[in-house]
Amino acid sequence: MKKTRFLFAAALAACLVFPAFGQILAQTQTQTQTQARPQIGGYLSLEYIKGQPESAYPHGAIENLLAGFLTAGQIGQKFGFAAEVQARGVDEFSLNQAWAGFLPSEAFTVRAGLYLVPFGQWNAASRPYETVLIRTPLNLEHLYPSSWRELGVLAHGRIGILTYDAYLGNGLAETSDAGATPYVQQFRDNNTDMAKGGRLGFAAGQAIQGGVSYYSGKYDDQNMRDLTLEGVDFSWVTAQWEVHGEYTKALIENPQPYPRGESEGWFVWMCMSFRGLQPVGSFQKVKMTDVYHNEGAGLDRKRWSAGLRYVLSQTLFIKLEYDWNTEKGTALKDNQWQVQLGLSF
């Protein structure tokens, strides 16, 4: 990564403003009772979306019903577990997390099962109550699957101001569907290669945090071609102001004679808090080139967004967001605005 691009990384993209899953997991690792009672929580959200003629919602629609239920607890003094179930719409149910862990100390824990991949901060903390944004930032939308999770083993720890994550799992798989990315989520390995990755983070007091992330694995059925993801994140948070952002890059190995595919982008968003009101502004950018998977089609897109979150109570909130999209060489008419109502408990 070029040094100048690192300056645009400003991330830990998740402001935890409600007492939910992150706090439950923290309690799980610090409890000392022999048999701790499991903690239970959940969240619910619904959106109305209306866009310009070329958007996915030209007529307006009520969409993206999301309900999540989660539990976490400790068994004895050194073992714990967590499970999270999500319902998207009325007929799609999935496990978001389901793991059992050995938690001997803050410096070292290990979990086995289904876990959210610790790449940057957005993926692990982007539930509706955890961020002021409604849409996934543009570069992350084209980098990894939504709610990217992995079946495997994850080690995590904190030593002083440093944190670390290291994991092994099945990895992502190649797809013939020309979507946001040429690779998709899978839960049964399509080759003999184990994907590996991790994140090294730091926390300078309560205000400044950041980290670097890395992922590598074979993604094709023949076990021949590498997929590499890289990222840098940083955040600055005070009682009134927040600045978050992330720089990301993907390197996609293609068969000869096709050149390597690439995706590169970054986002930054800033919000302030004043008596329950949180206005937010964001800039997002992504550039993709992959001749093999997209038949020569490239993507060079930018998005400006402006919005507001209003915290109605400790658990209830409403968000408004408007997105302006531009694409190099194309006159787009796919701007859209959306309203999200949600709660956590």
Q: Are 88 and 76 in contact (CB under 8 A)?
A: no
- Give residue 206's pLDDT: 84
Q: Are 21 and 72 in contact (CB under 8 A)?
A: yes
Give the pLDDT mean for 85-114: 96
Provide the token pair at 83: 């499970």
- Give residue 24's pLDDT: 45
Give the pLDDT mean for 118-140: 96
pLDDT category at 12 given cuts 50, 70, 90 is very low
Biggest alpha carbon–alpha carbon distance for the chain: 63
Cβ burial 285-322 (10 Å sphere, 16+ → b, else e): bbbbbbebbeeeeebebbbebebebebeeebbbebbbe
**% of the chain with per-residue pLDDT over 90:** 80
- Give residue 178's pLDDT: 61
pLDDT category at 21 given cuts 50, 70, 90 is very low
Determine which of 196-200, 280-284, 296-300 has the lowest per-residue pLDDT on average: 296-300
Give the pLDDT mean for 108-112: 98
Question: Which is nearest to 13 in space by CA: 286, 341, 317, 284?
Answer: 284
Better-predicted residue by pLDDT, 180 or 273:
273
Give the pLDDT mean for 107-113: 98
Question: Which is nearest to 261 in space by CA: 148, 172, 171, 182?
Answer: 182
- Give residue 252's pLDDT: 96
Beta strand 162-169 with 195-204 is antiparallel
- Give residue 17's pLDDT: 32
Q: Are 161 and 203 in contact (CB under 8 A)?
A: yes
Q: Are 253 and 108 in contact (CB under 8 A)?
A: no
- In whole angstroms, what is the distance from residue 87 CA to residue 67 CA? 5
pLDDT category at 13 given cuts 50, 70, 90 is very low
- Give residue 294's pLDDT: 80
Kind plus residue range of the DSSP H or E element containing 281: strand 277-289
- Give residue 338's pLDDT: 97
pLDDT tens per residue across span 23-48? 444 444 444 344 558 899 999 999 99
What are the extents of the domains in the chain?
A: 3-344
Q: Are 79 and 112 in contact (CB under 8 A)?
A: no
pLDDT(331) > 70: yes
Per CATH, is 3-344 categorized as 2.40.160.10? Answer: yes
Rg (CA), the chain: 20
Better-predicted residue by pLDDT, 179 or 79:
79
- In whole angstroms, what is the distance from residue 91 CA to residue 282 CA? 33
Q: Tell me the β-bridge partners of 52.
A: none
- Give residue 33's pLDDT: 41
